[in-house]
């Protein structure tokens, strides 16, 4: 059976007829994983285009201090490590672990090259997706270069505020898109340290918090925390 890839970013530009034609004679396989199972370890060879058909995964790497740093949460249907498939050193830069029962589509590298040759729309979407992913990783690196927890948290709050202001400049309240545990992993810090820092920023009058709702009181004070 040809998998439904209509919602997958790298295949969304293909018509159902084209998807059927492209996949009919292609060599690929699917593989199921249980919750908490490791799909790949950092340093493993990336030999396939992995497309998450069902479920969700997290990507993690070990920090210099030995802690776990969550890079990204990926939900189906999305490709995994697609930017590294054609690298000279085509290895996974992170561990990939399932957050729930999941299913992956594995397309060999040679077959992906043939897909590029057969359909320009697929090639265009593949390039676009990986370009967007590069921007995401560049942003993630920017966050990691901020040394203090307060700076990281201020950066996150200002980023969320910027999204609000793109809707209306008068909006200064938002709901965090991550809980404190997820945010701590995103920053590579402990949850208690994050909670203390959030409390400090509130005590300094820069924000007001109510559960996962944050209201920005002093934007300039947050910007000064980035230094």
Q: Is the pLDDT of residue 216 over 80?
A: yes
pTM given for the model: 0.66
The answer for residues whose C-beta is within 8 angstroms of residue 92's C-beta and 6 or more apart is 40, 41, 42, 43, 44, 45, 46, 81, 84
pLDDT of residue 56: 94
pLDDT of residue 103: 95
Q: pLDDT tens, 118-133?
A: 888 889 989 998 888 8
Q: Is the pLDDT of residue 67 over 70?
A: no
Q: What's the mean pLDDT when you consider all of the chain?
A: 85
pLDDT of residue 65: 60
pLDDT of residue 2: 64
User: For the chain, how big is the Rg over CA atoms in Å?
Assistant: 20
Are residue 37 and residue 131 in the same domain, yes or no? yes
Q: Where among 79, 103, 136 does a domain terminate?
A: 136
Are residue 172 and residue 95 in the same domain, yes or no? no
Asked, for residue 120, whether it belongs to a domain, the answer is: yes
pLDDT of residue 11: 82
Q: pLDDT tens, 96-106?
A: 999 999 999 99
For residue 219, the enclosing domain spans: 149-224
Q: pLDDT tens, 77-121?
A: 999 989 899 988 899 988 999 999 999 999 999 999 988 888 888
For the chain, the domain total comes to 2
Are residue 114 and residue 218 in the same domain, yes or no? no
For range 57-67, the mean pLDDT: 75
Q: Residue 20 is encoded by which pair of tokens?
A: 């059927």
CA neighbor of 13 nearest in space, from 125, 148, 109? 125
Q: What distance in Å separates the CA atoms of residue 202 and residue 206, rounded to the nearest whole number?
A: 6
pLDDT of residue 203: 92
Asked, for residue 209, whether it belongs to a domain, the answer is: yes
Asked, for residue 142, whether it belongs to a domain, the answer is: no
Are residue 102 and residue 171 in the same domain, yes or no? no
For range 1-14, the mean pLDDT: 77
């Amino acid at each position: 059976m040809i998998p439904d890839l209509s919602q997958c970013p790298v295949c969304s530009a293909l018509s159902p007829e084209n998807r059927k034609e492209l996949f009919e004679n292609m060599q690929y396989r699917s593989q199921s994983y249980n919750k908490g199972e490791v799909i790949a370890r950092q340093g493993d060879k990336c030999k396939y285009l992995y497309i998450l058909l069902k479920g969700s995964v997290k990507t993690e790497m070990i920090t210099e201090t030995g802690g776990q740093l969550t890079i990204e949460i990926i939900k189906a249907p999305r490709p995994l490590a697609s930017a590294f498939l054609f690298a000279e050193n085509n290895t996974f830069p992170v561990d990939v672990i399932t957050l729930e029962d999941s299913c992956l589509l594995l397309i060999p590298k040679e077959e992906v090259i043939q897909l590029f040759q057969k359909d320009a729309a697929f090639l265009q979407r593949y390039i676009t997706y990986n370009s967007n992913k590069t921007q995401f990783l560049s942003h993630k690196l920017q966050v990691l270069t901020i040394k203090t927890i307060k700076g990281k948290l201020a950066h996150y709050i200002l980023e969320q505020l910027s999204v609000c202001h793109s809707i209306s400049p008068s909006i200064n309240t938002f709901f965090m898109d991550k809980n404190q545990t997820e945010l701590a992993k995103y920053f590579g810090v402990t949850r208690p340290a994050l909670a203390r820092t959030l409390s400090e920023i509130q005590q300094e009058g820069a924000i007001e918090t109510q559960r996962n709702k944050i209201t920005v009181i002093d934007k300039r004070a947050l910007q000064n925390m980035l230094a």
